[in-house]
Chain A
Amino acid sequence: MAQTKALAITILVAVVFAALGYLAGQMTAPRTGATVTVTSYATVTSYVTVSRTVTPTTSPVAVPEKITIGLTLGLSGAYSYASTQGLRGIQIAVKWINEVYGGINLGGKKVKIELKYYDDQSNKELVPSLYEQLIKVDKVDFLLGPYGSPLVFVAAPVAEKYGKLMINWMGTSDVIHEQGYKMIVMVSTHSGSQMKPAMEMVKSLDPNAKVAIIYKEDEHNRLLAQGAREAAKQLGLQVVFDKSYPVDIKDFTPIFTEMATYKPDVIVICPHEADGILAATQLAELNINAKLMIMGFVPSLASFKRALGNLAEGWAGTNQWSVGASYTPDDAKALGYEWFGPTEEEVLNLYKQIAPPEDFPSEHTGAGAAAVLILAKAIEKAQSLDPQVVRNTLNTMKVMTFYGPFQIDPTTGKQIAHKEILSQWQQGKFVPIWPPEIALSKPVYPIPTWDEKRQGKQAVPS
C-alpha cells in the first residue's frame, strides 16, 4: 500500500517537474508550435486562418491571404544558442518584409508572411515528424531548414518526399547537397569552403607558416578541417598537426600539450560555441602562443569576448557574416547583383527590439534573415507559390542581401557565390580583415602573446 502511494506521488511529482520544465522552456523560447505573425510585437494582426488552396499553374496567380513558412529550431538542447540567434534573424526578415516592404508582391497584391515553428529540442529524432506535421497538418507553403547539419540531414528527405522547397540556412555540410535532392537550396557558404579564405590570408601573411589544425568530431567541423587541410596543401602551407577532439570535451590539455610540441605558427580550431570558448580560455591558461589563432565562427560571438576580455585580442574568426561586415546596395551594384532586403542599420535596429541588450547578432542571425529574404524574393520573381516554379526561379537568381551574394548551382542547390569573411579582434572591435574587397582593417600578424595581452596589450594593425 505504502509502495503504491509512493509510486503515485512520484509519478505526480515527475509529471509536475516535467510540466514545469516544459513551461520554463516555452517561456524562454517561442512557444512550441506557436504560429507567430511577425507583423507587430504588440498586436497580432487578425489574419484569416482557414487553410488555402493554391493552384500554382493558373494565371493570374491565386493570391492567398498569407504565405506560411515553417521550420523547426533547436530552441532547447545543444543548438539552443545558435537556433535562438537564427530565429531572431528569421523574425527580423519577416518583420521587415511585412512592415517595411509591405509584403511579398504577388499578383499585384502585397501578401504578408506568417511564420510557424516548432522546438525540435536539437534532437534529430524529432525533426522528421515535425516537418511532416508542418507539411501535412499545418500545410505550410515553404520550409526553412532547422539549425545544424545533423538536423538538416533528416529534415531534407521529408521536404523532398513531399516536393516542398526548403531553404537551408545553416546546415552547411556539403554532403547534404550531394544526395541528389532537388528541393533543398542553400544560402550560406558550405563547410568545406569556409576555411579557404583563412588559409589564403595565412599564405599572404607568411608563406612558410606551420599550421596546426584541431577540429571537433562532428560532421560540420570535420568538413571545415578538411577544407582547411586541402586549401593549405594547395597553397603550399605546411600542416604540422592535424587532430580531432571529442564532441563533449571539457579539457583540451592533452591535445593542446601535444600540439605545442610542434611549435605551430598558426593554430586553426574548428569548433562550435561552447567548446570554442573553452579552447580559447584553455590555450590562455596553458600559455600556448602562436603568431595567429583562427577559429570557426566562435570569436564573433558576444559570449567569446565577454569570456576572454582583452585575451580575445588578435583572435580571428571565420564567419558567414558579422556586424560591420555587411554588404550594401553599392556592393551589389559594383558586383553586378540585384539588391534586396534591409541594410545592416535596419537589421541592427530590428534586432534590438527582440534581443536582450547584451547580445548582438551572430552569423546565425544573418543566415536566418537571408533565408527568408531570398525565399521572398524568389516567390516574388516567380509570381507563384508552386515550390517547383520557385525552385526553378532560384536557379537563375543573382541577388545580394546584407548577408552577402546569393547564387546557386542549379543541380545541387549548393551555394556558390557567398563568401566566408575573416574578422579579427583588434583594439576591442571585431573587424573584417579578409577578403581584401570587404576588409576594413589589415590583419595583425603576429598577434600579441597571452602574457602581453594580460598586461593590456591589444592587437593593433600596422
Chain B
Amino acid sequence: MADPGYLAFYIATGLLLGTFYGLATVGLSFTFGILKILNSGHGSFIMIGAYVSYWSFVILGLPPLVSALLAFLIGFMLGLGLYYGIVSRILGGPELISLVLMFAMGILLQEFAKFVWTPTIRGFTWDLGRVSLFGYAYPTTRIVGGVVSAVIALGLYIFLYRTKVGRAIRSVVESAEGATLCGVNVNRIYAISLAIALGLTIASGGLATLYVSGGIEPYMGDPYTTRAFAIAVLGGLTSPFGAFIAGLLFGVIENLSYVLLSLTNVANPFSMTRFIAFAMILVVLLVRPQGIMRR
C-alpha cells in the first residue's frame, strides 16, 4: 500500500472515470438549467448511446470514439423531435409534468431496446493496448476516452461563452422573458438546448462502452441516473460545466474512498464507496448549497 504508483493509479483512474461521469451529467444539467426539465429517464438515453456504439462497432467497425459522434447526431435529432413534438407543449407547466414525461420516455426507450435488440447482454472488445506507469497498466482506450470527454466539455464551454448562440442560451437561463425582449428566439433556443443535451447524453453512452464494453443491455442505464442526479446537484444543477467538474470529483472520491476503506479493513469496502461519495456530497452541499460551481 506504500507504493505511490498504487495511489496514483486510483486517482488517475478515478479522474478518467470522472470524465465520463461528468460528460454523462452535462446533458442533465443542461436540460434542467435551461428548460427546467428534470430528465428522470436520463439513464435510458445513456443506454441508447451504448447500443449505438455497440452496433457501430459490430456492423460498421467504428470505434466508440467515432461512433460517439454518430450517437451525438442521433441524440440531437431525437432532442429536436422530442422538443417540437412534445416538450414545447408542456413548457411552463408544473415540473412534475416534465418529470413524469421523461420517466415515461425512459421506460419507453428501455422497452423499445428490449423489443428491438432483445434482453440479451451484449458486449465487444476494443483494445488499444495499455500504458504502463509505475508498474500499473492504464487501458489506452480509457485515456483516449477521458481526453475526448474533456475536449467535448471544453468545446461546450467555448460554445456557451464564446458564441452568439451560447450567449443567447445563457441569457435564456438568466431570464426567458428578458431574452425574448432582447430579440432572442426563446423557442428555438429551447429546441437547440434539448437537442444538445440529449446529443451529449447519448454520446456519453457511447463513451460508457469504454468501461462497460461488456454488459450492454436495455436496463443498464438506471445506475447512471442516480449518479448523474447526485453529480448534477454537486455541480450546481443548472451549471453544465460545473457538472463536468463535479463528475471528476465524484470519480476520484469513489476510487479514493475504496483505498481508504481497504486500509481500515472494512469487510466490503466497495459497497461503502458510494456511501462515502454521497456523504461527501452532503457535506459539500451543507457548506455550498448552490453547488461547487455556482456563484
Give me the interface of A with B, judged by CB distance under 8 Å: 2-3, 6-7, 9-11, 13-14, 17-18, 20-22, 24-25, 27-29, 76-78, 80-81, 84, 217, 243-246, 248-251, 253-255, 257-258, 261, 273-275, 277-282, 284-287, 301-304, 306-309, 311, 356, 359, 454
**In the complex, chain B residues 3-21 whose Cβ is within 8 Å of any chain A Cβ:** 6, 9-10, 13, 17
Given contacts A3-B92, A246-B274, contact A17 B108 (CB under 8 A): yes
Interface CB pairs A-B, < 8 A, 15: A3-B92, A3-B93, A6-B89, A20-B108, A24-B108, A24-B114, A78-B219, A217-B271, A245-B271, A246-B274, A250-B223, A250-B224, A251-B17, A274-B214, A274-B217
Bound complex: CA A84 to CA B115 (Å): 13
Are A257 and B9 interface neighbours, CB within 8 A? yes
Name, among A11, A24, A76, A244, the residue most crowded by chain B CB atoms within 10 Å (CB to CB). Answer: A24
B187 interfacial by beta-carbon distance below 8 Å: no
Are B104 and A21 interface neighbours, CB within 8 A? yes
Bound complex: CA A462 to CA B186 (Å): 72
Are B107 and A21 interface neighbours, CB within 8 A? yes
Bound complex: CA A453 to CA B206 (Å): 26
**Residues of A close to B136: CB separation below 8 A:** 257
Are A273 and B121 interface neighbours, CB within 8 A? yes
Instruction: Looking at the assembled complex, report how far the CB atom of B23 sits from the nearest CB atom of chain A, in whole angstroms.
Output: 14
Question: Of the 9-residue stretches B193-201, B240-248, B262-270, which lies at the interface with chain A?
Answer: B262-270
Please give me the 5 A-B residue pairs with the lowest Cβ-Cβ distance, nearest first: A307-B123, A277-B214, A281-B214, A80-B119, A6-B93
Are A84 and B119 interface neighbours, CB within 8 A? yes
Identity of the chain B residue whose Cβ is nearest the Cβ of A245 in the assembled complex: B270
Identity of the chain B residue whose Cβ is nearest the Cβ of A288 in the assembled complex: B137
**Residues of A close to B269: CB separation below 8 A:** 243
**Residues of A close to B220: CB separation below 8 A:** 274
B67 interfacial by beta-carbon distance below 8 Å: no
Instruction: Looking at the assembled complex, report how far the CB atom of B204 sits from the nearest CB atom of chain A, in whole angstroms.
Output: 13
B78 interfacial by beta-carbon distance below 8 Å: no
B156 interfacial by beta-carbon distance below 8 Å: no
Instruction: Looking at the assembled complex, report how far the CB atom of B147 sits from the nearest CB atom of chain A, in whole angstroms.
Output: 17
Instruction: Looking at the assembled complex, report how far the CB atom of B180 sits from the nearest CB atom of chain A, in whole angstroms.
Output: 16
Bound complex: CA A244 to CA B268 (Å): 6
**Residues of B close to A245: CB separation below 8 A:** 270-271
**Residues of B close to A278: CB separation below 8 A:** 123, 212, 214-215
Name, among A13, A17, A76, A255, the residue most crowded by chain B CB atoms within 10 Å (CB to CB). Answer: A17
B105 interfacial by beta-carbon distance below 8 Å: yes
Are A303 and B120 interface neighbours, CB within 8 A? yes
Question: Of the 9-residue stretches B94-102, B228-236, B280-288, which lies at the interface with chain A?
Answer: B94-102
Are A303 and B121 interface neighbours, CB within 8 A? yes
B39 interfacial by beta-carbon distance below 8 Å: no
Are A17 and B104 interface neighbours, CB within 8 A? yes
Bound complex: CA A304 to CA B120 (Å): 10
B278 interfacial by beta-carbon distance below 8 Å: no
Are B6 and A261 interface neighbours, CB within 8 A? yes
Instruction: Looking at the assembled complex, report how far the CB atom of B217 sits from the nearest CB atom of chain A, in whole angstroms.
Output: 6
Instruction: Looking at the assembled complex, report how far the CB atom of A250 sits from the nearest CB atom of chain B, in whole angstroms.
Output: 6
Give me the interface of B with A, judged by CB distance under 8 Å: 6, 9-10, 13, 17, 86, 89-94, 97-98, 100-101, 104-105, 107-108, 110-112, 114-115, 118-125, 127, 130, 136-137, 139, 141-142, 208, 211-215, 217-220, 222-224, 254-255, 258-259, 262, 267-271, 273-274
Bound complex: CA A22 to CA B271 (Å): 34
Known: A6-B93, A285-B142. 13 other contacts (CB 8 A): A6-B91, A7-B97, A10-B89, A10-B90, A10-B100, A28-B111, A77-B219, A81-B119, A250-B212, A254-B254, A254-B259, A278-B215, A285-B139
Are A248 and B223 interface neighbours, CB within 8 A? yes
Bound complex: CA A258 to CA B268 (Å): 12
Are B271 and A9 interface neighbours, CB within 8 A? no
Are B124 and A307 interface neighbours, CB within 8 A? yes
Bound complex: CA A421 to CA B213 (Å): 28
Given contacts A17-B105, A76-B114, A243-B270, contact A10 B97 (CB under 8 A): yes
**Residues of B close to A14: CB separation below 8 A:** 100-101, 104
Please classify the interface of chain B as helix (H, G, I), strand (E, B), loop, or mixed, using the class held by over half of its residues: helix
Are A7 and B94 interface neighbours, CB within 8 A? yes
Bound complex: CA A254 to CA B12 (Å): 11
Bound complex: CA A307 to CA B214 (Å): 6
**Residues of A close to B114: CB separation below 8 A:** 24-25, 28-29, 76, 80
**Residues of B close to A77: CB separation below 8 A:** 219
Select one of A254, A284, A304 contacting B270, CB under 8 A: A254
**Residues of B close to A275: CB separation below 8 A:** 215
Name, among B127, B259, B268, B270, the residue most crowded by chain A CB atoms within 10 Å (CB to CB). Answer: B270
**Residues of B close to A78: CB separation below 8 A:** 219
Given contacts A80-B119, A311-B125, contact A244 B270 (CB under 8 A): yes
Identity of the chain A residue whose Cβ is nearest the Cβ of B254 in the assembled complex: A254
Are B107 and A306 interface neighbours, CB within 8 A? no
Are B130 and A287 interface neighbours, CB within 8 A? yes
**Residues of A close to B262: CB separation below 8 A:** 258
Are B111 and A257 interface neighbours, CB within 8 A? no
Are B255 and A253 interface neighbours, CB within 8 A? yes
Bound complex: CA A384 to CA B34 (Å): 68
Are B120 and A81 interface neighbours, CB within 8 A? yes
Are A277 and B121 interface neighbours, CB within 8 A? yes
Bound complex: CA A454 to CA B126 (Å): 11
Bound complex: CA A25 to CA B218 (Å): 12
**Residues of B close to A217: CB separation below 8 A:** 268, 271
Given contacts A25-B115, A81-B119, contact A254 B97 (CB under 8 A): no
Given contacts A10-B101, A303-B122, contact A286 B90 (CB under 8 A): no
**Residues of B close to A281: CB separation below 8 A:** 123, 125, 213-215
Bound complex: CA A7 to CA B92 (Å): 10
**Residues of A close to B222: CB separation below 8 A:** 248
Given contacts A21-B110, A246-B271, A303-B121, contact A27 B215 (CB under 8 A): no
Select one of B94, B108, B268, B271 contacting A3, CB under 8 A: B94
Bound complex: CA A412 to CA B105 (Å): 46
**Residues of B close to A306: CB separation below 8 A:** 122-123
**Residues of B close to A80: CB separation below 8 A:** 114, 119, 218-219
Bound complex: CA A22 to CA B89 (Å): 24
**Residues of B close to A9: CB separation below 8 A:** 89-90
